[in-house]
């Protein structure tokens, strides 16, 4: 954990990221409530999911904020024994991070023309292969049904329009 101040400083890296995340989330929630309501009738409305995700982000940021205090107390005595040097990020890790970003960019490009089910299945299999090499069958068995279930839940139950793409539904 990087610190700007002393050991008991409020401004550790984890705490700063958590506080900034809470502030940005609150700002975005305020903006979401100020958005005009659409004139079409929907079951839950377009602002439900962004607000739910932002509330979950606030909750997660607060957990990180308070967990950093707990971790600090546990490692307080261990720091006096010996400080371990920070680990370096290897070239392989940078390659994987780049491949993750590439997969997300391709997903964004493919989503509308190809459709949600195919592009999401491809993304899940791609990301799983990056971290669990060689488990093609398991990744396909998880990725394809997951995409179909999510599509069904959003389109049929929540009445949210997702791109069908080349599939006939």
pLDDT at position 3 over 70:
no
In this predicted structure, what is the pLDDT of residue 23?
92
Whole-number Å distance between alpha carbons of 123 and 146: 11
Mean pLDDT, rounded, for 5-22: 74
110-135: per-residue pLDDT in tens?
989 999 999 999 999 999 888 888 78
Q: The pTM is what? A: 0.54
Task: Quick: pLDDT tens for 40-70.
Answer: 676 776 677 788 888 999 999 999 888 887 7
Is the per-residue pLDDT at 150 higher than 70?
yes
Confidence of residue 72 (pLDDT cuts 50, 70, 90): low
pLDDT at residue 31 in the model: 86
The partner residues of 132 in beta bridges, in order of sequence, read none
Q: What is the largest CA-CA distance in the chain?
A: 65
Exposed/middle/buried for 89, CB within 10 Å: 0-12, 13-18, 19+? exposed
Question: 75-104, pLDDT tens digit by residue?
Answer: 555 554 455 555 566 777 788 888 888 988
């Amino acid at each position: 954990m990087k610190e700007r101040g002393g050991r008991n400083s409020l401004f550790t890296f984890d705490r700063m990221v958590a506080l900034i995340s809470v502030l940005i989330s609150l700002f975005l929630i305020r903006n979401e409530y100020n958005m005009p309501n659409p004139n079409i009738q929907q079951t839950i409305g377009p602002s439900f999911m962004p607000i739910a995700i932002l509330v979950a982000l606030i909750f997660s940021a607060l957990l990180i904020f308070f967990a950093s205090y707990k971790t600090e107390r546990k490692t307080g005595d261990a720091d006096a024994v010996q400080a371990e040097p920070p680990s370096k990020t290897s070239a392989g890790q940078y390659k994987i991070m780049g491949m993750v970003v590439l997969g997300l960019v391709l997903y964004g490009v493919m989503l509308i023309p190809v459709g949600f089910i195919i592009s999401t299945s491809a993304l899940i299999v791609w990301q799983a292969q990056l971290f669990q090499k060689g488990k093609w069958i398991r990744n396909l068995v998880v990725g394809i049904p997951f995409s179909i279930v999510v599509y069904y839940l959003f389109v049929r139950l929540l009445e949210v329009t997702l791109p069908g793409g080349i599939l006939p539904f």
